[in-house]
Structure formats: C-alpha cells, structure tokens
Structure 1
Amino acid sequence: MSQYKHVLIAIDLTDESGQVIEKGKAIADRNGAKISLIHALEPLGFAYGGDIPMDLTSIQDQLEQHAKDKIAELAAPMNIPVDQQHLLVGMPDSEIHRLAKDQGVDLIVVGSHGRHGLSLLLGSTSTGVLHGAKCDVLAVRIQKED
C-alpha cells in the first residue's frame, strides 16, 4: 500500500462536507501527509450561459466571500491552515485537477451520494475528477444524517 504525502479534499460546502473532510483527514493523519481543502466555484456566467445583460461581479464577489467563510468554518475544527484552504473559480473538475498537479497531490478525496445505478454512483463533479485524475481518487459515500 502506498503512503500518501499530500491529500486534497474536494468539498461542495454542503452540510455533508464534514464527512468527506473527516475521512480525508484520517487518511492524511495515518500517512503523516499534508492536507488541503478545495472548493471550486463555477462563475455565474457559466451557470446562466453568459448572455445576461447585467454585471454579475458584485454577486460573484459575494458568493466567493461566502465560500471562503464556509471553507474556514469547515477547516477550523480539523486545524487545517488557511494557506491549505483553496477557493478556485472555474469548472470544478478542471480546477481540482490543476491544483492537484500544481501541489503534487497523490490522493484526491471527493464525496459521493451513492445513488442507484452505475451512471448515478458519483455526481458529475466526482465523475469528472475520477476520469481526469493523475493520482488516486477516493469517493467517500455520504451518509444521511438522521
């Protein structure tokens, strides 16, 4: 079994992100590995086709600030330093691959909602990360909180 040196945990900032962080941190701790968090925020222009006749800059800035705050909130109990918390704007799978390559990551941890059927096993971001990754990818099954 390989020993990981840098674990990148990709989170979507939902309430279930803590489950993904806990699993990734446990693996990092067992391996003495560096741990980083990433959330990739799609630009509003992507979501709305770029044909909106209005300036979305202030809304995008607010979304980015909210995401930074949420990442910090999730990272705090796990003692993940600010310089290892990454918010990137772009297509999530591409940004995760780029950061993983730039940082020398050897394990990417993503969440999976475990829907039925092979095509629904992973969400679109998780599937994109899995298919384009140059390192190991761990899909953590999200458990419903009762």
Structure 2
Amino acid sequence: MTNNNSTADAVGVVEAYMQALQIKDTDTILRLYADEAEIIPENLPSLRGRDAVDSFYASTFAAIGMEVNVEVVSTEVYDEIAIVRSEQPVTVIAVADGTRTQAYFRELFVLRHTPDGWRIHKYMFSQNPAQA
C-alpha cells in the first residue's frame, strides 16, 4: 500500500466527481476519467472510452439530476491503482416533471495513477432500493 497523501488524492477524485455530478458538469467529469475508462452500470450495457462516457453522462443528465453527499466507506491504494468504494442515499430528480425519488447507490471506483494524477479507470454502480 502507499502513503496517506495518495489515499487522500484518490478520495479527492471521487469527491470531485460527486460534486460535478450534482451540477451536471460533464467537462469536469470527463477530465476525471482515463481515456480508456469503462463504466459498468446496473441494468445497462457496459461502455468503454471517452466518447461512450461522454454519451452516457449526456443521456443521464437529459433524464435526471441528483442530490448526493458522497460517503466513502473504504479506500485501498496499491502503487498505481486505487480502489474507492462509496455508499450513500441519493435524491434522484426527473428532468421531465421534477419528481423526486429517494435511492441508495453503491459505487466502486478503480482509479489509475497517471502523469496528470489519479483518473477513474473503472466505475461500477448499483442501487439498493431497500436502503433508500
């Protein structure tokens, strides 16, 4: 494992991601992802690469907004790889009519250290309605 600065920096990427997610800041989100990144969403096909990631967030933000405070439950850093896991309640807001729904997201971020710092390499998420 590596030092606490690396751990804090890796968690900082996830926190920045969550902040950008709330304000639908696709540009910031894309900067946090590695070029070859993969997203493995629940009940949807997996996707890979910058264009696919961009399209995923464009369609997500066209349909919903989110209010979320990230709750990191574990972080492990191994040289050039960091694993950050979060679980938190989320308020999902439908763009079409403003309907607010309570959800509970569980997320796993695999980050890779690059010359530009930590970047999201793999991102997987699921929801657990029983915890909402």
Q: TM-score range by the shorter chain?
A: under 0.3
The answer to which structure has the higher strand fraction is: 2
Higher-RCO chain (CA-CA 8 Å, sequence separation at least 6): 1
Structure showing the higher helix proportion among its residues: 1
- Bigger radius of gyration among the two: 1
User: TM-score w.r.t. structure 1 length?
Assistant: 0.25
What TM-score do the two structures reach when normalised by structure 2? Answer: 0.27
